[in-house]
């Protein structure tokens, strides 16, 4: 059964609470830090303003050129005032540091107070979980013991049945004694488990009482500390008020003395100031007249210089226009020249490609003709030899080779227009004069001559 003081909540809810608590604490710390920084900045600004006022007063005193005795007295008063202000600022700084420490302690206590409820709830839940675990453990032990007892009884019954069926030499008294002992052991185990459950409950109750007492003592200690801090603050405030009143009385006395000294020095200072002001007015009038003359001269010089500058600017603009026109012309000429050069390069490349192709074809044809001429010369040698046979067949073969050579060489000589073609040199041999005379122009000498050319 759930206890009346039991608290149950989910893990997500606990994490959300802790997250919101951390965010609130961080926001409060940030606001406290910003407020402290603003307070320190205001104090520093106030101190700077006071120092500025004192510097201005010192500058006025130096301009007044008071006698050495009065200036020494004023310096002494100012130094005394500065020392008093510095001591007051130091006291304020110490007070602020103490307040900062007290606020930090207070924040820690508040955080502890805020987290204390959660910690107590967690502690209570842990105790309940532990109690439930102990109860479950005891229940498991009891169930296991019951199961073991049931198994024993079943085993004993089975053994009795087997004895009745098969017979046994052991007496039944030992079995009865064992059963009685087992029953006693089971009772003792049950008592032990109940006693262990009671011990666990007593321990959890003791832990709970200890936690409650600790929480109560912490609250009492916190209240006592708060009362002590409050009494310390009141004592310090009373001391500060007394010191403040003493300093106020001293400042009033010093102010009265300073007022008397200033009243005595005011008359002489006013007279000197009037004389100085009259002299300053004369000097200012003289300076004003000189400045007016100087301005007139500057205006005249500016007008003349402006005219010269305008003329120079016009001349430079004209020169720039001429230069830009020349540059445009030069750029156009360069573009035209580049286009012409590119066109000529393309033409030259096309011509060179054509000549190269023509020459390559010519060399190929020359090689073919040279091979055919070699064959023809070989045949002629065979014909001219005294043991030559089958002259009609050779004659027909030579005629065919002549036709092939003339037909294959015709387009090549048409393409090679730059060469000097045909320096024909005919020889009239003894036999086959027409055939040899027609073949001879294509001899080796003829082709070598044209290749050298």
Least confident of 7-21, 56-70, 89-103, 175-189: 56-70
At 318, which helix (H) or strand (E)? Answer: helix 172-384
The pLDDT value recorded for residue 438 is 41
Instruction: Determine the Cα–Cα distance for residues 96 and 178; give it in Å rounded to an integer.
Output: 85
Contact between 333 and 366 (Cβ < 8 Å): no
Q: b/e for 247-269, b at 16 or more Cβ within 10 A?
A: eeeeeeeeeeeeeeeeeebeeeb
The pLDDT value recorded for residue 409 is 45
pLDDT higher at 321 or 164: 321
Q: What is the pTM of this model?
A: 0.27
Instruction: Determine the Cα–Cα distance for residues 214 and 120; give it in Å rounded to an integer.
Output: 11
Q: Which two tokens stand for residue 245?
A: 């009143």
Instruction: Determine the Cα–Cα distance for residues 22 and 2; give it in Å rounded to an integer.
Output: 32
Among the listed residues 437, 436, 434, 448, the one whose alpha carbon sits nearest the alpha carbon of residue 380: 436
The pLDDT value recorded for residue 447 is 39
Percentage of residues in the chain with pLDDT exceeding 90?
A: 0
The pLDDT value recorded for residue 400 is 58
Please determine, for residue 348, whether its predicted confidence score (pLDDT) is greater than 80. yes
Most confident of 132-136, 165-169, 241-245, 347-351: 347-351
Instruction: Determine the Cα–Cα distance for residues 134 and 230; give it in Å rounded to an integer.
Output: 48
The pLDDT value recorded for residue 225 is 81
The pLDDT value recorded for residue 386 is 57
At 65, which helix (H) or strand (E)? Answer: none
DSSP code of 418?
S
pLDDT band at 145 (very low <50, low <70, confident <90, very high): confident
User: How does the average pLDDT of the chain come out, rounded?
Assistant: 74
H helices then E strands: how many in the chain?
A: 6, 0
Please determine, for residue 389, whether its predicted confidence score (pLDDT) is greater than 50. no
Contact between 404 and 363 (Cβ < 8 Å): no
> Residues 252-269: pLDDT tens digits?
888 888 888 887 788 788
Contact between 375 and 398 (Cβ < 8 Å): no
| Vertex 14: Cα angle to 137 and 23 (nearest 5) | 155
Least confident of 206-210, 268-272, 347-351: 206-210
The pLDDT value recorded for residue 397 is 54
The pLDDT value recorded for residue 449 is 40
Among the listed residues 250, 210, 230, 271, the one whose alpha carbon sits nearest the alpha carbon of residue 85: 250
Instruction: Determine the Cα–Cα distance for residues 85 and 57; give it in Å rounded to an integer.
Output: 16
Residues with Cβ within 8 Å of 421's Cβ and at least 6 positions away in sequence, in order, are: 413, 450
The pLDDT value recorded for residue 69 is 52
Among the listed residues 114, 115, 102, the one whose alpha carbon sits nearest the alpha carbon of residue 226: 102
The pLDDT value recorded for residue 393 is 53
Please determine, for residue 223, whether its predicted confidence score (pLDDT) is greater than 70. yes
Instruction: Determine the Cα–Cα distance for residues 114 and 218; give it in Å rounded to an integer.
Output: 13
The pLDDT value recorded for residue 441 is 41
The pLDDT value recorded for residue 421 is 39
Least confident of 93-107, 343-357, 392-406: 392-406
> Residues 315-346: pLDDT tens digits?
888 888 888 888 888 888 888 988 989 988 98
Please determine, for residue 420, whether its predicted confidence score (pLDDT) is greater than 50. no
pLDDT higher at 291 or 175: 291
State mean pLDDT over 151-179: 71
Most confident of 80-94, 157-171, 198-212, 366-380: 366-380
Please determine, for residue 178, whether its predicted confidence score (pLDDT) is greater than 80. no
The pLDDT value recorded for residue 283 is 87
Please determine, for residue 372, whether its predicted confidence score (pLDDT) is greater than 80. yes
Please determine, for residue 355, whether its predicted confidence score (pLDDT) is greater than 60. yes
Please determine, for residue 17, whether its predicted confidence score (pLDDT) is greater than 70. yes
Please determine, for residue 71, whether its predicted confidence score (pLDDT) is greater than 50. yes
Contact between 8 and 128 (Cβ < 8 Å): no
Please determine, for residue 422, whether its predicted confidence score (pLDDT) is greater than 80. no
pLDDT band at 244 (very low <50, low <70, confident <90, very high): confident
């Amino acid at each position: 059964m759930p206890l009346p003081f039991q608290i149950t909540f989910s893990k997500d809810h606990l994490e959300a609470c802790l997250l919101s608590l951390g965010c609130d604490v961080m926001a409060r710390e940030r606001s406290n830090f910003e407020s402290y920084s603003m307070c320190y900045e205001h104090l520093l600004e106030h101190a700077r303003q006071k120092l500025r006022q004192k510097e201005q007063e010192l500058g006025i005193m130096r301009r007044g050129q008071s006698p050495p005795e009065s200036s020494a007295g004023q310096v002494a008063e100012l130094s005394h005032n500065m020392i008093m202000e510095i001591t007051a600022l130091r006291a304020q700084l110490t007070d602020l540091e103490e307040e900062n420490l007290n606020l930090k302690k207070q924040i820690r206590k508040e955080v502890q107070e805020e987290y204390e409820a959660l910690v107590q709830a967690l502690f209570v839940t842990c105790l309940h979980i532990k109690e439930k675990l102990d109860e479950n453990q005891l229940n498991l032990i009891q169930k296991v013991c019951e199961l073991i007892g049931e198994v024993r009884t079943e085993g004993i019954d089975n053994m009795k049945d087997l004895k009745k069926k098969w017979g046994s030499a052991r007496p039944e008294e030992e079995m009865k004694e064992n059963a009685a002992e087992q029953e006693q052991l089971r009772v003792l185990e049950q008592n032990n488990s109940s006693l262990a459950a009671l011990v666990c409950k007593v321990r959890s109750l003791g832990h709970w009482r200890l936690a409650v007492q600790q929480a109560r003592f912490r609250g009492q200690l916190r209240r006592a500390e708060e009362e002590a801090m409050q009494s310390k603050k009141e004592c310090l405030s009373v001391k500060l008020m007394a010191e403040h009143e003493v300093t106020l009385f001293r400042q009033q006395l010093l102010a009265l003395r300073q007022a008397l000294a200033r009243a005595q020095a005011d008359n002489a200072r006013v007279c000197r100031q009037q004389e100085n002001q009259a002299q300053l007015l004369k000097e200012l009038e003289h300076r004003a007249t000189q400045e007016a003359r100087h301005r007139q001269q500057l205006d005249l010089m500016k007008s003349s210089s402006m005219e010269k500058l305008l003329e120079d600017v016009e001349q430079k603009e004209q020169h720039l226009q001429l230069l830009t026109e020349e540059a445009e012309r030069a750029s156009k000429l360069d573009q035209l020249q580049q286009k012409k050069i590119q066109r000529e390069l393309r033409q030259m490349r096309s011509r060179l490609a054509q000549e190269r192709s023509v020459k390559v074809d010519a060399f190929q044809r020359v090689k073919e003709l040279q091979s055919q001429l070699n064959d023809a010369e070989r045949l002629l040698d065979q014909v001219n030899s005294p043991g030559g046979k089958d002259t009609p067949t050779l004659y027909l073969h030579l005629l065919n080779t002549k036709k092939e050579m003339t037909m294959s060489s015709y387009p090549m000589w048409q393409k090679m227009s730059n060469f000097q073609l045909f320096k024909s040199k005919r020889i009239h041999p003894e036999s086959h004069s027409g055939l040899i005379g027609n073949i001879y122009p294509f001899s080796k000498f003829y082709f070598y001559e044209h290749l050298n050319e």
